[in-house]
Amino acid sequence: MALKVHIAGKLVDKDDARISVFDHGLLYGDGVFEGIRSYRGTVFRLESHLRRLYESAKAICLEIPMTIEAMADAVYETLRANQIQDAYIRLVVTRGSGTLGLDPNRCGHPQVIIIADRISLYPAEFYDKGLEIVTVSTIRNHSAALSPRIKSLNYLNNILAKIEGLKAGCVEALMLNSKGEVAECTGDNIFLVSRGRLLTPPIDAGILDGITRQVVIDLAREVDWTVLEIPLTKHDVYIADECFLTGTAAEVIPVVKVDNRTIGEGVPGPHTRELMDRFRQETLSGSRE
């Protein structure tokens, strides 16, 4: 069965899903997106993802031409059309077709695209044995120039860091902010376990306010773990007992080496494994939000 894509208000075959070459999403990265997961046919944290999508759009003065409720219905319609229970869903909203110039007022109707397909970001062995990552020289965009809370179509900052990490032989890379503090990885948030406490950079470190990040924080606090959102440095990473990453596609994945330095015992630690298990249970709870 050909994959169906929801575009311009209707479902079409993947090969027929097209946008104009004058779309400002293509020309300038002018637009916003969300990556979402469904488990057993239920979209995980859909309300939170849609809220962030619409907030990102509002922040760049982009009016999404449908209500949040209609967008939620379209997501489920796309899932059903593709007969996929466990899917990765990509929502894309572009500024729309315009002219060869930056002026967004010269664009037409914003374009809404919904893709539902399968994804496998990392091999299963990485979840069993842990990732090795490297700190890259590409710093995270300065939050005073572009808010990291806007999930925009322009991901060049992350892509450059990803390229640097891949050239170093790592599938993921750690980015620092302009102050030299730990920010996030190219596609994931980062957590440390140190002396029984769960540590993660605060939002004002220049990070995306990750949905999975918040789920993990909530899960940890439910069992009375101490969770601190505080500025971190590479020193904190190197001396941590455990390290793991979180993201919609990655879910919760352990890290056992950073910059060729072994973290803790060099294997996924007990706190990480417990959160991995509890997160998997959370995704199967059957709740839309």
Chain CA centroid to CA 198, Å: 20
- Pick the catalytic residue from 14, 151, 167, 234: 151
* CA 150, chain centre distance (Å): 12
Q: H helices of the chain, where? A: 24-28, 46-59, 68-82, 124-129, 156-167, 211-222, 234-238, 270-283
Amino acid at site 246: T
Q: By CB neighbour count within 10 A (0-12 exposed, 13-18 middle, 19+ buried), where does 161 fall?
A: buried
- What is the three-class DSSP state of 164? helix
Gyration radius (Cα) of the chain, Å? 19
Q: Among this protein's residues, is 151 annotated catalytic?
A: yes
Distance, in Å, from the CA atom of 242 to the CA atom of 264, rounded to the nearest integer, reads 6
Angle between helices 46-59 and 211-222 (to 10 degrees): 130
Active centre residues (catalytic): 151
